């Protein structure tokens, strides 16, 4: 395929994804926006108004970046895991596999779909957050880098889950029992500086902590961890997950015999 044809193929995948995301908006966009709005209302407004400032910020201001990041992480992950699994289950992934699209482009298509949904959901959650808090942007470059890298990372993770999923249970186990606990314990609702030293060290084992803090730094200029460490962790995990996906693709991604 020529680069021009590859670009057309890639844009075709993107268009298909965009149409799908908005066609089933009640499943893809609305739930995270509603859920996050409830967090804003309950934790941010009702409970948060009675809490002391964190890093000199009101509680609602402090949690907004984390909640946006949580919706981006969940949406990116769920998009690729469900999309890839259903394409595998219904065999419509064959439409791509019989075409001359190179394998890496098929993977890029799925990952980009996850990133796109993460960004769309993140944008709507950001809009909702403006009803509860005003947000200043401290460092736009860091904010964009954190969003893009995190959504790529979790799109890759979702793809890996989709490859191994053998049934509908298989696409919900990791999000429910791994992703959600790690996200909730990833410093969205608190600063780890509020913890005793031992629990601070335990918290540092959670990779999502670094993503939330990188994003929060981009918005508010505060972070529990130095930003360069946050990005090092992001880059490290992204490389590892890319290598795993490349390996799985070479083995047929669970869709080739």
50 scored as a contact of other proteins (CB under 8 A):
no
Going by C-alpha positions, the residue among 1, 10, 32 that lies closest to residue 117 is 32
- What is the C-alpha to C-alpha distance for residues 107 and 130, in angstroms, rounded to an integer? 35
In the complex, minimum distance from the CB of residue 60 to other proteins, in angstroms, rounded to a whole number = 39
Give the nearest distance from C-beta 197 to other proteins in angstroms.
50
Nearer to other proteins, 111 or 188 (CB): 111
**Of residues 2, 26, 136, 197, which one binds other proteins by CB under 8 A?**
2
Closest approach of Cβ 20 to other proteins, in Å?
Answer: 8
Site for other proteins in 78-107 (CB under 8 A): 90-92, 94-102
Where does this chain touch other proteins (CB under 8 A) — which range of 4-12, 40-48, 58-66, 118-126? Answer: 4-12
d(CA 74, CA 137): 23
Site for other proteins in 215-234 (CB under 8 A): none
Residue 166 or 201: the one with the smaller Cβ distance to other proteins is 166
- Cβ atoms 61, 49 nearer than 8 A: no
Closest distance to other proteins from the beta carbon of 105 (Å): 9
Pick 68 or 93: Cβ nearer other proteins: 93
Residue with smaller CB distance to other proteins, 15 or 166: 15
Cβ pair 151, 115 in contact under 8 A: yes
**Tally of CB atoms within 10 A around 6:** 16
CA 38 – CA 25 distance, rounded (Å): 19
Nearer to other proteins, 9 or 29 (CB): 9
Q: How many CB atoms lie within 10 A of CB 74?
A: 23
Q: What is the DSSP letter of 179?
A: I
| Per CB under 8 A, 257 contacts other proteins | yes
Would you say 8 or 42 has its CB closer to other proteins? Answer: 8
Query: x/- site string to other proteins, residues 7 to 46, per CB under 8 A?
Result: -xx-xxx-xx--x---x-----------------------
- Say how many residues make up the chain: 257
Contact indicator for 156, 111 with CB cutoff of 8 Å: yes
| Beta carbon nearer to other proteins, 14 or 204 | 14
Residue 166 interacts with other proteins (CB under 8 A): yes or no: no
Element (H, E) at 72: helix 59-90
> In angstroms, how far apart are the furthest CA atoms of the chain?
60
Query: Cβ–Cβ contacts within 10 Å for residue 145, how many?
Result: 18
> CA 138: distance to chain centroid?
21
- # residues near other proteins by CB under 8 A: 29
Please enumerate in sequence order all residues whose Cβ is within 8 A of that of 163, keeping only pairs 6 or more positions apart, or say none.
84, 248, 253, 254
Binding site for other proteins (CB under 8 A): 1-2, 4-6, 8-9, 11-13, 15-16, 19, 23, 90-92, 94-102, 252, 256-257
């Amino acid at each position: 395929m020529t680069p021009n044809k590859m670009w057309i193929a890639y844009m075709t995948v993107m268009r298909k994804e965009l149409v799908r995301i908005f066609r089933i908006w009640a499943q893809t966009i609305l739930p995270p926006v509603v859920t996050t709005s409830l967090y804003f209302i309950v934790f941010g407004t009702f409970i948060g108004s009675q809490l002391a400032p964190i890093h000199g910020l009101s509680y609602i201001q402090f949690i907004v970046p984390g909640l946006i990041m949580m919706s981006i992480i969940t949406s990116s992950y769920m998009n690729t895991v469900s999309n890839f699994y259903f394409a595998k289950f219904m065999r419509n992934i064959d439409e791509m596999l019989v075409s001359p699209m190179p394998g890496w482009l098929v993977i890029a298509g799925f990952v980009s779909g996850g990133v796109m949904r993460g960004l769309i959901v993140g944008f709507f959650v950001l809009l909702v957050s403006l009803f509860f808090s005003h947000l200043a942007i401290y460092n736009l470059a860091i904010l964009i880098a954190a969003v893009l890298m995190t959504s790529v990372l979790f799109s890759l993770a979702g793809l890996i889950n989709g490859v191994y999923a053998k049934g509908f249970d298989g696409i919900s186990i990791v999000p429910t029992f791994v992703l959600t606990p790690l996200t909730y314990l990833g410093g969205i609702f608190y600063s780890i500086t509020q913890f005793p030293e031992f629990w601070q060290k335990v918290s540092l084992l959670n990779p999502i902590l670094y993503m939330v803090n990188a994003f929060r730094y981009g918005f508010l200029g505060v972070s529990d961890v130095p930003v360069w460490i946050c990005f090092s962790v992001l880059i490290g995990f992204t490389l590892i997950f890319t290598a795993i996906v490349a390996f799985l693709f070479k083995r047929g991604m669970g869709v080739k015999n």
